[in-house]
Structure formats: C-alpha cells, structure tokens
Structure 1
C-alpha cells in the first residue's frame, strides 16, 4: 500500500509539473504575440534622400560589407538565412518589385527601420539587427538608403519568422529581446568619424559587432540564434578572449577574408560572405580598437 501511495504521489507531482510547464509555455507565447504587436515610439528624424555617385558607391560598400545581403540577398529580394528544425528566418524583399516591403517608405521610415528596428507602423521589426546599425552616421545611413533605393525592382517574399514555441515563450518572458528593446532610442545620431586606421574609426566599425558580441564585446550566446549555434567569442580582454590569436592586423584580415582561423579551422556563424568585403582600412582600424579595449573581468 505504501508503495502504491508513493507512486500515485509521484505521478501526481509529475502531472502537476507538466501542467505548470504547459501553462508557462502558453503564457509565454501569449506574451510574445502581444510584444510583437506593441507600439514603439521612437524620436526618428528623417535623413534626406541622395542619388549622387559618391553616396551610391558608399552605400553599395556598406550593403555588401555590413551583412545586409546576408538577410536580403545580393539583389535585395530576400533570403532565408536560418533554418533549423522549427526555426525559419528569412529577410524580406527590399526592392520596389512584387513582394517588396519598402515601396511606400518615406525618408523617416528608413531611419526607423535601420536605426531603430521599428516598422513605419511603429511595430518592432523582429529580425532587423538595428543594434548593429543604430550608430550609423547620417552620411552612411543616407548612402545605404540611396543604394537600396537604386536596386532594380524584382520579385521576392516578405519577412519569414517561424519560431519554435519554447523560443517564442522565451521571447515573451524577456529572455530574448528584439533589437527595438535593446536600443537606446534617445541617443542622437553619431557625429561623422574620419575614415582611417585610427581607434576612433575602429570603434565606429565595431558597432556592427554588437548584435552578436554584445556592447562590451564579452560575447556569449547569440540572442535568438538556433540552438546549435556556438556562443559568440569574447573580443574584450579577459579570460577566454580570442584576440590573442590575432596579434596584428594581418592575422585579423586573413580571418575575415578566408573565414578560417590561423589553425585552418572554420568559424561557423560569422557572416563572412559580407565580412570578406570589408576594406583593409576598416579592418585595420577595427583591430586597433579591439586590441586597445580596457581589461574587463
């Protein structure tokens, strides 16, 4: 009798845990749906359109080297960049062709989307990594917009975002945040930074690393990434930092050009299709800045 009572109590306990887990999952998914539809008020100031040759060339370089084509494809028509089990993420068509999402964009809408991760309707753009682009200068933002607006119209799809229920619940409970929740929207646009092999320019370039490596460059699990993605490396000084592998700019440039470490092993997650397009000036400045970061625990 005692054994039966013990088994009944155990089964009842397990049943209660399953019920609680199911309720928590359902609540997390509900919170996620509400969070995805929230209104995000941002103090966006429009940046005037440009179409001069210098801006178009600069915009083309930024589009190629700042990972825009990783999500939107080289022609801007959209691209699936994560597909793992129940997780499917695809960037949308950003041409003015069929299925494009930017046909009705006004100058301020480009600023909301790129700098703030917010749609023209004020909803969070779930997969737009605007934390990497929030510190774009007005010149660079205008140049990037100029190039995107110059892309030939072509057919493509809208955003695809399919999240496994546990991932969606984690988002709902705040364990995973969208870009609009991570950005300090009160910051003014970054002042122009002279291009050159300087720590100041390197800091500006390093803004593109924030989404994966965090603002303090300590790395860790990439928010919202598939479960089999490795953690982003620690770039800041301290235990586990990978910068010791790159004693000079040439070694970092070799990584970006090849996608392989000095020992020949491949880096799995970094978007080298875009990163290999970065100029030597940008990479030398980036190396200079990262090597000069103050020590952190």
Structure 2
C-alpha cells in the first residue's frame, strides 16, 4: 500500500511539474507573440480636415464602438476589469497632444492601426477590434482621423492589457487571436456606396458586427471574452435566429437604441448599446434590411 501511495505521489508530482513547464512555455510564447512584428507597407491615405469629414468622423466614433473603449473624450477607459480572473483591459488615450500614443501618428499610422490592428512599429494591437473596421472606406478612416485630431487633449493613460494565464495559453495556442491575426491584410478597401436604406449600405454597416457575431454573423461564444459573457446572437435568418423577434425595421431600431426586445425583456448589456443608440435611422434600417437577406446559418457557427 505504501509503495502504491509513493508511486501515486510521484506521478502527481511529475504531472504538476509538466503542467508548470507547459504553463511557463505557453506564457513565454504568448508574450513573444504579442511582440511580433507585422510588415505592412504604408497606405497612402489622404488626410481630411473639412467640417463634413469631422462631422462624419464624430458620428462614426460615437456609433461604431470607438467611445466604448476610448471614452467620449478619447481619453481612454477601462473596458474589462474581472476580479475573478484578473483580466484587465484599458483603452488608450487617443486624443491629440502631449505624450499620447497617437501624438506623432501619420495618416498611414492611423490607417494601419484602425484597419489592420497594427501599431506604427509593427506590433499587434491586442484588443483593437480592427476586424470590424478593416472594411471601412478611405473616406471614413480619414473622417475618424480628422475628428480625433481636432479634439482637445485629454488627461488619459496608455492602453493596458493584463491577461490571466488561461487567456495567455489560449492566445499562445491560437484559440484566441488578436485582431491582426483575423484580418486579410491584402483586402482592398471598401468602395463607397450611397448612404440610403439599401442592402448594399446595410452590408457596409454590418461590418461593425463581425467582431462579436462572427464573419458569418451566426453568433456563438465570443473568443477571448470573459467567461461569464453570453454567446453572441445569430443575426442570420437561420435556426435560432434573433431576427424572428423583430417584425420590422422600427422594432429592430428600438431594440438597438433601448436595449430591450419588443416583449420588454432586456438584451445582454454586453451589447454596446451606448454606441448603438447613436446610430441614425438610415444605418439601422439598412442594417435590418441586409440581415434579412444574408444566407441562413445555424446559431453558433460564427
């Protein structure tokens, strides 16, 4: 019996040792991966600073989720602070001036960060949802830049990401990806379409949904999200579709602005309603129209 106990204890010690080595190797590789360089040629983005561009940039900043991570004043804010796991994410101060991270950004740097999730030095931006912005037109990227550059300097801080060991291991294994891994960096920029209630414009607006609802818009568990976050809804007309709750575009728009379904029940606050509520009528109606036309897919396929 004593020999069996010793063997069991030795086996457990060996397994614990192997687990510790694997955890160390995984975290080392995750840190190395986060420091890799991604070689992208500078994109010749034409800068704008006219009032129309600034107004468009303000609208995009407010309604496309930028303020959710960077705050209404672009001074940055805490996005995730999970005491249970130690997962912490603070969006950077991206207002102009001083020693702020964007103080010396060129138009090419803005384009690379927004569309590709890559810093000017080539390292990935770990929590930047560039998969949502990769398809922005040149005019819209320039409009965002124009709006941000004319803001007053804020008193924020740089970005900070603290990943718990499990998230680091999943990141090292490729289960959780940074934005730069998810993007086709050779994709040509989207071409402008008329801003009206059309499937084409709705398709353009729907790009903002890809990060949470997946490239096929069928939802599922959001990779890298805190474990208590619910799965993203299926936005296609397939099995388990969330669209069946909304008989028409006005009902859909009301939910996007109020956070409540037609029956009065609350949608998960994980949805960025602070931004979604600022979308205009045209964008919301076009988005609903487009979602009704996408190929049906079962829920959870992302």
TM-score by length of 2: 0.94
Distance in 2 (CA, whole Å) between partners of 1:261 and 1:22 is 47
Measured in 2, the distance between the counterparts of 1:41 and 1:221 equals: 31
- 1:144-159 alignment to 2 at 5 Å? 144-159=144-159
The count of residues paired between Structure 1 and Structure 2 equals 295
* 2:292 counterpart residue number: 291
CA contact (8 A) 2:63 2:276 kept: yes
> Residues 186-227 of structure 1: CA distance to partner in whole angstroms, max 9, x if unpaired?
011111111111111011000000011110012112122111
Cα RMSD (Å) of the superposition? Answer: 1.4
- Measured in 1, the distance between the counterparts of 2:138 and 2:222 equals 28
Which residue does 2:198 correspond to in 1?
Answer: 198
Q: Are the equivalent residues in 2 in contact too, given 1:99–1:158 (CA < 8 A)?
A: no
Q: Distance in 1 between matches of 2:202 and 2:163?
A: 35
**Maintained 8 Å contact 2:56/2:144:** yes
Q: After the TM superposition, which of the residue ranges 257-266 and 109-118 deviates more from structure 2?
A: 257-266
2:69 counterpart SS class:
helix
Gaps of 5+ in 1: none
Farther off after superposition, 16-25 or 247-256: 16-25
Q: CA deviation at 1:229?
A: 0.9
Q: Distance in 1 between matches of 2:241 and 2:16?
A: 40
- Structure 1 SS opposite 2:55: helix
Report the alpha carbon displacement of residue 19 of structure 1 after superposing the two structures with TM: 2.2
In 1, Cα distance between equivalents of 2:76 and 2:175:
28
Separation in 1 of the partners of 2:240 and 2:66?
Answer: 29
List gaps (5 residues or longer) in structure 2.
none
Deviates more, 1:260-269 or 1:240-249: 260-269
- Distance in 2 (alpha carbons) for counterparts of 1:231 and 1:43: 36
1:177-196 maps to which residues of 2 (within 5 A)? 177-196=177-196
Question: Equivalences for 1:233-252 in 2 at 5 Å?
Answer: 233-252=233-252
- Provide the rounded CA distance (Å) in 2 between the counterparts of 1:278 and 1:163: 32
Asked whether the 8 Å contact 2:45–2:142 carries over to 1, the reply is yes
Query: Hey, what does 2:5 align to over in structure 1?
Result: 7
Which deviations, in whole Å up to 9, do the C-alpha atoms of 1:45-90 show, x marking residues without a partner? 1312111111111000000000100001000111101110201101
Deviation at 1:128, TM superposition (A): 0.9
Can you list the C-alpha shifts for 1:207-260, whole angstroms capped at 9, x where unaligned? 000011110012112122111111111112322221111221111111111112
Report deviation, 1:274: 0.6
- Kindly tell me: are residues 6 and 268 of structure 1, through their superposed partners in 2, closer, same or farther at Cα, counting changes over 3 Å? farther
